[in-house]
Chain A
């Protein structure tokens, strides 16, 4: 028996039996190890059906047992356990059984193998472990650290970056840029034969742990497969040469109120592949964030980079269930309780959204409850199985969230103490953001119709508690002489004569924290802040639209053009430019002349063709199939142009276009051949003026905080 220590890179099932593990050892080796790993799933239901299922399975290569297990809601129940020696056969056997006996309830049947492995061995992906080996077989494995460690030893990853010299959706790439360590070079893609041989040699030479690509999912790997077949050159980008690459087809799905398109995916075995252009939140928290999520959720880095945080939180809940011997149902089985109309009106409400006082305000503090909803779930033990019960043991959801919440808080505390120029700040921010998203979606999953451990009443309990706490905070602030200008879900905007510095708000924060039992922090003090009125009626406030300048000059804006994804960069940059000028003064109204001069300059740049065409692109999401558009919106017109050019167009895809003079007034960017002289300058000036008005109008007109405004009618 030998012993090895290192980091766990990858876990997956092996057709030859058991599971394969890849260990990055302390000696910088990459070891392919194997482990026996029988897996079990459960079935329950009508006794006769269960007996028939038993008889059917007896002929198969499985071990059957009658046992008792705990369902989260129903408690202890009799189940048939089905244990399979080779985990790669589980999916096929289960599909076969569930087709024959659809009326039975199944549990633990679709748990990812990495989660089963983590629950059983207490190790974790990307974590450190010690293995005792008998040749390639693991006889014993033990964890050497925890996913909740704040400052783990970083993985010494070898990263290879591959990117084409152009966006393949627009024009055919000619070269592939390769970077590995200090080496970077470019490889011509044609002729294909020497390119394939060269790439194969580079993969062998560098042996990367992570292949980071641009368009790897949607172009490079599918293309490599075609070229290698055409040229008869085998090229397996996996580290595990016994495996074929795993591809998932492209799909469109509906989530968070919008249609999302997910391109085809290429997953590798023994090493990871991440396509930066097809990774869900890569822009926000990057590789470090995806790795942090993989570490705490137990899903692989390749999955976490592409999936929504919802998949991550579901995995964490499964892990908690497995560790607590609670069955994981295949589908959600908790329907909403019956309610009277009055009960429904009472319960079916969201967070506290107040109506702000319209206009310009000075010296405003924004205070936020930190991770308010998860903190409520943990503090008040809100979980699907505990809601409405007094003195219940800690529920599955709070148990899942507690370490996550604590880790994020500790990382945030470290961040607060660091100098902003410290090299660790960027990495820490990404990890904090990645954890934040897991916490954010966890609340939504309590009420999500497909969440296995969801129950709408627990979701409603959280929002009800949050509204109550916000009202408590408002009352405390008002008792202390503050004016509450606005409240939005978990933040309050307050103002008081003479309250200008952090120290002036300490009492308020302490009082709120003491009474509510939740952490509340000062987000910042605005030297000025604007709540603009509705565009439709200037007497109506808008809850989610505001902009202002903090005392340190930093700008914060919500709900205005520069925050919307369909605003061209040129317009967004100009709006930000206006805000930057306004932010230099304690009274933004005094900056009007400077702003007007700046806008004139920006318009001249546009007229003189000195704005990059790329900065004029409008990006919108295609919300349905092109044929389903009854009104020919600019997005639909651009999508039709793409189709006419033979491009694949699916709902949820981002469609990029320009406003142009000729034809339909729209030119799809990905059709290619777009020149500056085509640009409809008037339309962009119109967009710019609209963005300008959005910010400046509130300074021009007298603010109407009287809703009837009799005086205006009389005037």
Chain B
């Protein structure tokens, strides 16, 4: 209410809308992952907003990488646990 600059949520929505034709062309299974990319960015809206950037999607990409790194590290940990159980 009363803001001049659009919020990070609005900017992410706009980028997602802009990419709608791209998403539509993807296979259904890829679409789910693609949505996950935006879900990853949406987990860090507050942090993206703290950076005074003219191009917040750059920072959103970093948030996406962060989530991906988190996923990888969880998978790695699970793998290590499984490995130690069977070795």
Contacts and interface: CB of A to CB of B under 8 A. Distances in A.
Do A and B belong to a common assembly?
yes
Interface residues of B, number: 28
B35 interface: yes
B44 to A, nearest CB: 7
A350 interface: yes
Nearest to A353: B46
Interface in B37-64: 37, 39-40, 42-46, 49-50, 52-54
Contacts of A712: 32
Contact of B36 (A353, A449, A467, A708): A708
B71 A710 contact: yes
Contacts of B5: 344-345, 348-349
Contacts of B1: 256-257
B79 to A, nearest CB: 13
A707 B43 contact: yes
B22 to A, nearest CB: 17
Contact of B45 (A342, A355, A539): A355
B52 A342 contact: yes
A348 B42 contact: no
A346 B68 contact: no
A341 B67 CA distance: 30
B10 interface: no
Contact of B33 (A354, A467, A708): A708
A349 B2 CA distance: 10
B17 to A, nearest CB: 14
A178 interface: no
Contacts of A349: 3, 5, 49
A487 B49 CA distance: 14
Contact-residue bracket for chain A? 20 to 34
A104 interface: no
A447 B2 contact: yes
Interface string A683-715: 000000000000000000000001111101100
A354 B46 contact: yes
A222 B44 CA distance: 56
A341 B4 contact: no
A537 interface: yes
Interface in A254-308: 256-257
Nearest to A471: B50
B49 to A, nearest CB: 6
B3 A537 contact: no
A537 B39 contact: yes
Most central of A344, A355, A706, A709 by chain B CB within 10 Å: A706
Nearest to B45: A355
Contacts of A467: 50
A706 B35 contact: no
B52 A346 contact: yes
Contact of B29 (A345, A539, A713): A713
Contacts of B3: 348-350
A709 B2 contact: no
A541 interface: yes
Contacts of A35: none
B68 A344 contact: no
B4 A344 contact: yes
B26 interface: no
Contacts of A341: 54
Interface string A654-687: 0000000000000000000000000000000000
A449 B4 CA distance: 13
B49 A355 contact: no
B43 A345 contact: no
Contacts of B46: 352-355, 487
Contacts of B70: 706
Contacts of A709: 32, 36
Interface string A430-468: 000000000000000001110000000000000000010
Contacts of A159: none
Contacts of B36: 539, 707-709
A348 to B, nearest CB: 4
Contacts of B44: 355
Contacts of A449: 2
Contact of B71 (A355, A537, A708): A708
Given A352-B46, A539-B39, A712-B32, 10 more contacts: A257-B1, A342-B54, A344-B5, A348-B5, A349-B5, A537-B39, A539-B35, A540-B42, A708-B67, A713-B32
9 contacts: A341-B54, A342-B54, A345-B52, A353-B45, A539-B39, A540-B42, A707-B43, A708-B33, A710-B33
By Cβ-Cβ distance, the 9 closest A-B pairs, closest first, are A539-B39, A707-B40, A708-B36, A348-B5, A707-B39, A346-B52, A707-B67, A540-B39, A354-B46
Interface of A: 256-257, 341-342, 344-346, 348-350, 352-355, 447-449, 467, 487, 537, 539-541, 706-710, 712-713
